[in-house]
Amino acid sequence: MRERAWGWQTKDGLPVFAREWTPDKPAATQGVVLLVHGMGEHSGRYRHVAKSLADDAFAVLAFDQIGHGLTAGKRGHVRSYADLLDGIQRLLDQADRKFPDKPKFLFGHSMGGNLALNFLLRNKPLVTGAIVTGPWLKLAFEPTFVQVTLARLMEYLYPSFISNRPMNREHLTSDPRMQDLHQHDPLVHGYISAKFYQVVQRAGLWALEHAGLLAVPLLLMHGGSDRVTSAAASRQFAERAGTLCTYKEWPDFGHELHNELHREDVLAEIKSWIKTHLPKSG
């Protein structure tokens, strides 16, 4: 696998850090996967996912969200949801430029899954299909009335107000090695602003209400033991999306399917689904 760093600037001039992983033999590339990471993490945590895909001749493009990883911006804050969707559009534009004749697949996890689904439903991009894991459509727990009221108030009065709620690594995966890597990753954080929380929360509910707008094949997967985002909400989305959506739930798996003890099975499922949906040659 070959790895290269690159990037772009947002409309406001913020530098965005991006990564590109390609097969050792670029000419053999079958397709391109556009990866969108979750809240409080960064694209570098998906290197092993990219390696698995590159070994099967798929290129992977990814970037660090605003306020995340090596991209600029106040940690855990965003000006608008549109700015988040714009990052995916920029990534797709680059993929079209770098690999003009290859099929494109969107892959989003958690908050990135929220973004991927909204991007599909709102923007109707020219992609062949999408893979979404553990999307933030709803959280796995219900915030109290007081918490909801305060969040709405803070979004109005002080949208960039940051709270620090580090993720419980045991809720992410049961793999001790992956838990340790998460704990000692200097680019991982638990920061989230009132604005960031509210726009993503609303967008998750919007996606649930508009799942019937899905226009491309989707592989939607969720951990049966996810204590971060709601598996029930993913099941509901799949039911409303209809036959274009393939839903698979992994019993006893936590939030990060790609980091679980048997992640090779998850990655095999993803690659098999992608290959099934590659355009037929000839």
Please state, in angstroms and rounded to a whole number, the distance separating the CA atoms of residues 246 and 204.
19
Q: For residue 57, how far is the Cα from the chain centroid?
A: 21
Looking up tokens 């019937």, which residue turns up? Answer: 212
Residue 246 lies in a domain: yes
Q: Establish if 258 belongs to a structural domain.
A: yes
Residue 282 resides in a domain: no
Number of domains present in the structure of the chain: 1
Per-residue CA distances from 197 to 177, 190, 280 (Å): 29, 12, 41
Residue 144's pLDDT is what? 63
Residue 89 lies in a domain: yes
Q: What is the 3-state secondary structure (H, E, C) of 101-118?
A: CCCEEEEEECHHHHHHHH
Residue 281 lies in a domain: no
- Whether 101 is in a domain gets the answer yes
Q: Which residues of the chain have pLDDT under 50?
A: 282
At a CB cut-off of 8 Å and minimum separation 6, what does 211 contact?
121, 236, 237, 238, 240, 241, 245
Q: What is the CATH number of the domain that holds 149?
A: 3.40.50.1820
Q: What is the model's pTM?
A: 0.95
Measured CA to CA, the distance from residue 7 to residue 159 in angstroms comes to: 27
Q: Which domain holds residue 69?
A: 2-276
- Residue 104 within any structural domain of the chain: yes
- 56 by Cβ neighbours in 10 Å (0-12 / 13-18 / 19+) ranks as middle
- Within the chain, strands assigned E span 2-9, 15-22, 31-36, 58-63, 104-109, 129-133, 162-164, 191-193, 218-223, 245-250
- What token pair was written down for 158? 């002080």
Does residue 31 lie within any of the structural domains? yes
SS3 166: coil
With tokens 């899905």, the residue in question is: 214
Q: Do 244 and 214 meet the contact criterion of CB atoms below 8 Å apart? A: yes
- To which residue do tokens 């920029």 refer? 90
The count of other CB atoms within 10 Å of the CB of residue 18 is: 20
Q: Which amino acid is at 40?
A: G
Q: Which residue has the tokens 């999306």?
A: 241
Is the CB of residue 70 less than 8 Å from the CB of residue 189? no
What pLDDT is attached to residue 147?
A: 65
Please tell me what DSSP assigns to residue 126: -
What is the structure's pLDDT at 101? 92
Looking at residue 99, the DSSP 8-state letter turns out to be S
H or E element in which residue 272 lies = helix 263-276
